[in-house]
């Protein structure tokens, strides 16, 4: 696939703070690309650099082969859905959606037809003459999306568009958004701090922190093979084990020797990560196997889909999830089975 949007070493500073610190990214045509990170990580700033609201202090922005780094927002062919929607309160739904076409001097008849089609697409037929304040939050969100889609942008930009919706509606709109994006093959750059949203929607995810991109990959890649501690922690919670290599595929942590799927022979310290649901909990030792640890349950919290337990084994603390029908109680003796292939080596930073 051809690269549609390319960022090369983009830096954006506000006074003394560096909001975006040397980001390079390639977004392929038709790709749903998500910038994921905590608030203040620079993801929205980066989106605004692409939209042209901020000029970068360094670096370049390309749409296909066209350098757009210094073009004003109105000349870029990027359309944005704002977090707070930014619907024009003095215009009807139809006027809001048709605004971009009016600015592009699309003939009235043609514009009306395009507005009608996009309203059909987002399911707002019949609401044309209402004002934004007469619509529900979900409807306002659709108007914002329709207003951006109708101009057939090169790249669609979305800034946490679901954050103002209630939890149920958010799920539904999420699915619709995904389906619509696939159907239109619309190249999309999406910003969110919600890892679940990012995993569910995206073709590719870039995890950001402190103005830098830490890892880019498919949702599976960032979830299953986080490259460093921050990514592992931010994309789902993880247990971290600080250990030392003692041989090929073997590390020592506390008083235990663990087998690790990834072999490395040289010595030195290493950080390992594993998710709570990947550790298996048994009440009996069974037939043993690699990495079977005896421990004692410290606490149990019922979370609905799972019971989350903290278990202590020889000076190591593990957070593990068990099925809710498995009875586990505090102070109980249990055995933890830690699959070697799931113990991943991650970087500290």
Partner 1 sequence: MLAGRVGALVPGVEARRQLADPGLALAFLAGAFALAVFVLYPTVRVLAYPSLQDYLSIPHSVRWVQAARNSLLSAVLSTTTAVAVGLAFAFATTRPDVPGSRFFRAVALLPLFAPPFMVAFSYILLFGRQGLVTRHLLGLDVNIFGPHGLWLVQTVAFFPLAMLVIVGVLESISPSLEQAARNLGADDWQVTRTVTLALARPGIAGAALVVAISVLADFGNAVVIAGGWPLLATEAWFRMEGMADLRGASLVVAMLVVPTTALFLLERYWVGRKRYTTVTGRGGRLERPPTYPPLKWASFAVCGVTSILVLLVYLGVVAGAFTAVWGRDWSFTLDHWRLAADRTPSLWASLRVAAGAGAVTAVAGILLAFLAGRPLPLRRALDFLAVLPGALPGVFVGVGFVLAFNRPPLELVGTPWILILALAFWHLPLGYQAAAAQLQQIDRSIEEAASNLGARGLHLLRDVYLPLLSRAFVEGFTVSFVRAVTNVSIAVFLVSPGNVVATFAILNMIGNGIWGGAAALTTMLLLVTFAVLAGARLVVGRALRPAGVG
Binding site for partner 1 (CB under 8 A): 51-53, 72-74, 78-80, 82-90, 99-100, 103-104, 133, 147-148, 151
First to last CA, the chain: 32
Residue 78 burial class via C-beta count within 10 angstroms: exposed 0-12, middle 13-18, buried 19 and up: buried
Which is nearer to partner 1, 112 or 280 (by Cβ)? 112
Min CB(24)–partner 1 separation in Å: 24
Distance CA 114, CA 100 (A): 11
Min CB(83)–partner 1 separation in Å: 7
Distance CA 163, CA 195 (A): 13
Tokens at 267, concatenated: 């010595």
Min CB(169)–partner 1 separation in Å: 18
Which is nearer to partner 1, 89 or 315 (by Cβ)? 89
Min CB(215)–partner 1 separation in Å: 27
Contact (CB, 8 A) for 281 and 270 = no
Which is nearer to partner 1, 133 or 268 (by Cβ)? 133
Q: What's the distance, CA 153 to chain centroid?
A: 22
Min CB(19)–partner 1 separation in Å: 12
Min CB(33)–partner 1 separation in Å: 18
Which is nearer to partner 1, 156 or 253 (by Cβ)? 156
Which is nearer to partner 1, 78 or 192 (by Cβ)? 78
Residue 187 burial class via C-beta count within 10 angstroms: exposed 0-12, middle 13-18, buried 19 and up: buried
Which is nearer to partner 1, 79 or 214 (by Cβ)? 79
Residue from 271, 270, 291, 269 nearest 280 by CA: 291
Which is nearer to partner 1, 147 or 344 (by Cβ)? 147
Which is nearer to partner 1, 111 or 214 (by Cβ)? 111
Any idea how long the chain is? Answer: 349
Min CB(228)–partner 1 separation in Å: 30
Bridge partners (DSSP) of residue 65 are: none
Residue from 209, 178, 207 nearest 31 by CA: 178
Contact (CB, 8 A) for 104 and 116 = no
Bridge partners (DSSP) of residue 337 are: 280, 292
Distance CA 303, CA 194 (A): 19
Min CB(99)–partner 1 separation in Å: 5
Q: Which three-class secondary structure state does DSSP give residue 248? A: coil
Q: What share of the chain is helix, strand, coil (3-state, %, to 5)?
A: 30, 35, 35
């Amino acid at each position: 696939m051809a690269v549609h949007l390319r960022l090369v070493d983009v830096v954006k500073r506000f006074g003394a703070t560096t909001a975006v610190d040397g980001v390079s990214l390639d977004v392929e045509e038709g790709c749903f690309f998500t910038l994921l990170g905590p608030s203040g990580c620079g993801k929205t700033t980066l989106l605004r650099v692409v939209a042209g609201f901020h000029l970068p202090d360094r670096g370049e922005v390309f749409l296909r082969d066209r350098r757009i780094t210094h073009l004003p927002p109105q000349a870029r062919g990027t359309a944005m859905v704002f977090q707070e929607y930014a619907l024009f309160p003095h215009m009807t739904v139809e006027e809001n959606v048709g605004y971009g076409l009016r600015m592009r001097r699309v003939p009235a008849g043609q514009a009306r037809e395009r507005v009608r089609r996009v309203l059909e697409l987002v399911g707002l037929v019949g609401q044309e003459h209402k004002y934004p304040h007469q619509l529900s939050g979900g409807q306002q969100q659709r108007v914002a999306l329709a207003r951006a889609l109708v101009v057939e942008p090169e790249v669609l930009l979305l800034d946490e568009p679901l954050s103002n919706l209630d939890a149920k509606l958010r799920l539904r709109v999420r699915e619709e958004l995904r389906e619509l994006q696939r159907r239109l093959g619309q190249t999309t750059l999406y910003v969110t701090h919600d890892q679940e949203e990012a995993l569910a929607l995206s073709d590719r995810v870039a995890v950001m922190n402190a103005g830098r991109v830490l890892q880019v990959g498919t949702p599976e890649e960032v979830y299953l093979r986080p490259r460093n501690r921050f990514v592992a922690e931010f994309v789902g919670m993880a247990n971290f084990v600080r250990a030392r290599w003692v041989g090929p595929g073997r590390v020592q942590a506390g008083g235990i020797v663990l087998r690790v799927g990834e072999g490395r022979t040289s010595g030195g310290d290493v950080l390992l990560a594993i998710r709570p649901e990947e550790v298996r909990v048994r009440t009996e030792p069974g037939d043993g196997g690699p990495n079977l640890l005896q421990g004692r349950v410290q606490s149990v919290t019922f979370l609905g889909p799972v019971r989350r337990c903290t278990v202590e084994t020889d000076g190591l603390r593990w957070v593990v999830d068990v099925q809710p029908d498995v009875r586990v109680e505090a102070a109980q003796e249990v055995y933890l089975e830690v699959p070697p292939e799931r113990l991943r080596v991650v970087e500290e930073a």
